[in-house]
Structure 1
Amino acid sequence: MEKYIDKGTKLFLEGYNCAQSVFGALAEKVGFDIDDAMSISAPFGGGIARSRKTCGALTGALMAIGYKNRNLSKKEMYELSRAYMNEFEALFGSTECNVLLDYTADDSTTPSPRTLKYYETRPCSELVAKAIELAGKYLK
């Protein structure tokens, strides 16, 4: 999974959102077109459209898990997805962007500038890396 973790971290540092960084990194592993993965996951950044709801690293991983396991029944898919979500929450204490960032959402849809301070004060790079690592066992 190291290759995918490195790719996801690189994507994030290039300015892609958390969902794009995770799903984009895992697209090759699950047989999904990377350009399509980046487009589909674009609205999920910032906790879905910068609303600071469900973490983009989590939703990006669930996209990859869903595609890789697309032949499961709805019940099996929900069970698998819930198991991943529970592990993510146990690892980070929440699945919500605003809690993970200790940040109160505002109404702005303007992304924060990607400055050195941005990268130093947010756990997003770590969330991306750990979300990819954790997804590994769900993508066999």
Structure 2
Amino acid sequence: MSEHSKLAKELYKKGYNCSQSVFAAFCDETGLDLETSLKISSSFGGGMGKLREVCGAVSGMFMVAGMIYGYSDPSDKIAKTEHYKLIQSMGKKFKDKNNSIICRELLKPSVKDDISISEDKSEGNHKDPSCEEFVEQAAIIIDEYIKNKKMEEKEMIKIAVASEKEMVTEHFGHCINFNIFEAENGQITKSDSIPNPGHKPGFLPNFLNDMGVNVIISGGMGEGAIDIFNDKGIEVIVGASGNAKDAANAYLKGMLKSTGSVCHEHQHHDECDE
């Protein structure tokens, strides 16, 4: 059982519907706050507002996939086709386990066709014990896809560590050098060190992007630089310390997480390359 599936079950036990339980369990992946996630998914419980159509847990799973991997350009036919393939694949995995993705079929014979599902959840009692299993299953399916996708993306990546020789620097913009690590299948295959080409606002994020960097690691960084990296799809890890190569290896193992902190303490706005 994954952490997301555990959280999904906990949310369901608290009284949230099946769609809310799955969708809100992935706030850390979708970037949405809990309240927004709960509101967006609130209509899909009970098979679409108790209509007993598509299972709410399945709808929640699809919504997570849409938020993370969905397309927005109506003219991008390739993206649309690929996304639909993803949805169909996840739906099939759920259906293979349960023979259906339709609420009324999943709950038969425990719930009569002509009776709406009870919403009485007093003292933690739920409409049907199998719904908790469906919530867990849906969360596991999308969680496994996310993890596999991240592993694929990490197969070949280039990591830049803002450094003072071999150590992670506290101030991104004023670093002495960048230690560059190329990795394949989670292992560093090549390393290099390049001097900081010069500190001026907005320059370094574009410089590293042109080098093909996928991840930037630093002790601290200004908000302006973070925004530029985010716009270019480069992952930002701040709050790191210690040996640069150790930091890169920790990232590859999934053990290095960004603190999300932004440098505010400097007298000059561009001190950390804002």
In which range does the TM-score fall when normalised by the shorter chain?
0.7 to 0.9
Paired AA for residue 35 in structure 1: E
Alignment partners' CA distance in 1, 2:127 and 2:35:
28
The question of whether the paired residues in 2 share the 8 Å contact of 1:51 and 1:106 is answered with no
2:30 is equivalent to residue 30 of structure 1: yes
Partner of residue 136, structure 1: 143
Larger mean CA deviation between 115-124 and 52-61 belongs to 115-124
Quick check: which has more Rg, 1 or 2? 2
Aligned residues, how many?
139
* CA positional deviation for 1:35: 1.6
5+ residue gaps, structure 2, are: 72-77, 150-274
The question of whether the paired residues in 2 share the 8 Å contact of 1:57 and 1:127 is answered with yes
Paired AA for residue 80 in structure 2: K
The question of whether the paired residues in 2 share the 8 Å contact of 1:51 and 1:107 is answered with no
TM-score (norm 2): 0.47
2:61 is equivalent to residue 45 of structure 1: no
Alignment partners' CA distance in 2, 1:65 and 1:120:
26
Q: Whose helix proportion is higher, 1 or 2? A: 1
5+ residue gaps, structure 1, are: none
2:72 is equivalent to residue 66 of structure 1: no
Paired AA for residue 123 in structure 1: S
The question of whether the paired residues in 1 share the 8 Å contact of 2:22 and 2:139 is answered with yes
Partner of residue 96, structure 2: 90
Paired AA for residue 126 in structure 1: E
Alignment partners' CA distance in 1, 2:126 and 2:115:
22
1:114-125 map, 5 Å: 114-115=121-122, 118-119=125-126, 121-125=128-132
* CA positional deviation for 1:107: 6.7
Alignment partners' CA distance in 2, 1:96 and 1:116:
27
The question of whether the paired residues in 2 share the 8 Å contact of 1:23 and 1:63 is answered with yes
The question of whether the paired residues in 1 share the 8 Å contact of 2:15 and 2:124 is answered with no
Alignment partners' CA distance in 1, 2:120 and 2:83:
36
Distance 1:77 1:28, change over 3 A: same
Paired AA for residue 107 in structure 2: L
- Where 2:101 maps in the other structure, the secondary structure is coil
Measured against aligned partners, the alpha-carbon deviations of 1:43-65 in whole angstroms (never above 9, x if no partner) come to: 00000010110000000000001
* CA positional deviation for 1:79: 0.6
* CA positional deviation for 1:115: 4.7
TM-score (norm 1): 0.88
Larger mean CA deviation between 112-121 and 15-24 belongs to 112-121
The question of whether the paired residues in 2 share the 8 Å contact of 1:23 and 1:37 is answered with yes
Structure 1 stretches (4+) deviating beyond 6 angstroms?
none
